[in-house]
Amino acid sequence: MTITPTGEYERTAGGAVLMDGIRLRGEIIAGLRATIDAAGNPPVCLATVLVGDDRPSQLYVANKRKLAGEAGMVSVHRELPNDATQAEVEAVVAELAGDPTVHGILCQLPLPAGLDPEPVLALIPPEKDVDGLTERSMGRLVRGLPGHVGCTPLGVMRLLERYGVPTSGKRATVIGRSTLTGLPQMLLLGRKGVDCTVTLAHSRTPDADMVEVCRQSDIIVACAGQARMITAAHVRPGAAVIDVGVSRTEAGIVGDVDFDAVQAIAGAITPMPRGTGPMTIACLLENTLSAARMQGAFPA
């Protein structure tokens, strides 16, 4: 498969194109800022809701708010204590849902133990669901209707586009079937205009079948959450390999792909970190601008 990225790009030691999510995130944020500036800086507002004192969640939300500012957006934040009740959390989200000055709502998950996220997410209108997590957003994706796509699978698509990975008529394997990544990723790769032939594999796929399916693929998206499960044996020479999985090991945080082995065979590969993670926030902000347009608050 011929991979033709636009502009200058970095390669791994083995010669694969390095699909740098940090770099692309910067490009997307700069583009959003230019678009908002050119429109005269109408307020585009992202609201974040954080419940509890989970340190990684606090850092993640703070980074989202910081990058929203860099993109020229307004950031509204609601923070509740660890002992907040279900009713209190739902009241905050309902208030934001009814506020016409708020265009996108992100409720940081997971919620503290004892809180049910489903009723909370159900309060977010589809046009404000910039995380693309609700059942109505997923339904719109299945039906091909306007709506917001989950930020992680959308980030994968942006990487494929930016780095010139062809999709039409190509074979893709998605490993993982979560509603957060695997299932929407399968739909995005197979829809009109992208036109991959998509196979869905998962933790119950026999090892021998997994190797065979992956070896037939031009594109592999690994999002099963199993450390280094994709080895050189799985990868067809020249394939594009996207690593979405995150596992915490004694050696630190690693992905689903054995990067050192696979980069010597692949035509393009995402690093871990600096790959798909940064793209999640970039696409959250992209969705926020789209949300403002859907609500008539920003020029189409």
State mean pLDDT over 245-263: 90
For residue 217, pLDDT over 90 is answered with yes
Other Cβ atoms less than 10 A from the Cβ of 167: the count is: 19
Q: What is the pLDDT of residue 2?
A: 73
Q: Which tokens belong to 170?
A: 């190509």
> Using 50, 70 and 90 to split pLDDT, how confident is the model at 7?
low
Sequence-separated (6 or more) residues with CB below 8 Å from residue 274 = 20, 21, 22
Task: Show Cβ contacts of residue 59 under 8 Å, excluding neighbours closer than 6 positions.
Answer: none
Does 8 have pLDDT greater than 80? no
Fold type of domain 150-278: Rossmann fold (3.40.50)
- The CA–CA distances, whole Å, from 223 to 12, 129, 184, 185, 235 equal 22, 22, 12, 10, 15
Phi, psi for 49 (deg, rounded to 5):
-125, 125
Tokens of 14: 């083995």
Instruction: Report which secondary-structure segment, H or E, holds 280.
Output: helix 276-294
Q: What is the model's pLDDT at position 6?
A: 64
pTM of the predicted structure, to 2 decimals: 0.95
Predicted local distance difference test score (pLDDT) of residue 106: 97
Both structure tokens of 85:
């009740």
pLDDT per position as a tens digit, 125-167: 999 999 999 999 999 999 999 999 999 999 999 999 999 999 9
As a whole number of angstroms, the distance between CA 177 and CA 122 comes to 22
Pick the CATH number of 40-126 from 3.40.50.10860, 1.10.40.50, 3.40.50.720, 3.10.20.30: 3.40.50.10860
d(CA 70, CA 68): 5
pLDDT for position 9: 81
> Cβ contacts of residue 187 below 8 Å, gap of 6+?
141, 142
150-278 has the same fold as 40-126: yes
The closest alpha carbon to 203, from 239, 229, 173, 181, belongs to 229
Q: Which of 29, 5, 88, 16 is nearest to 268 (CA)?
A: 16
State the average pLDDT for the chain.
95
Going through the chain in order, the beta strands assigned E by DSSP cover 17-18, 45-51, 74-80, 104-107, 171-175, 197-201, 219-222, 240-243, 247-249, 252-254, 268-269
Where along the chain do its domains lie? 40-126, 150-278
Question: In the predicted model, what is the mean pLDDT of residues 165-173?
Answer: 98
| Residues that are catalytic | 64, 108, 131
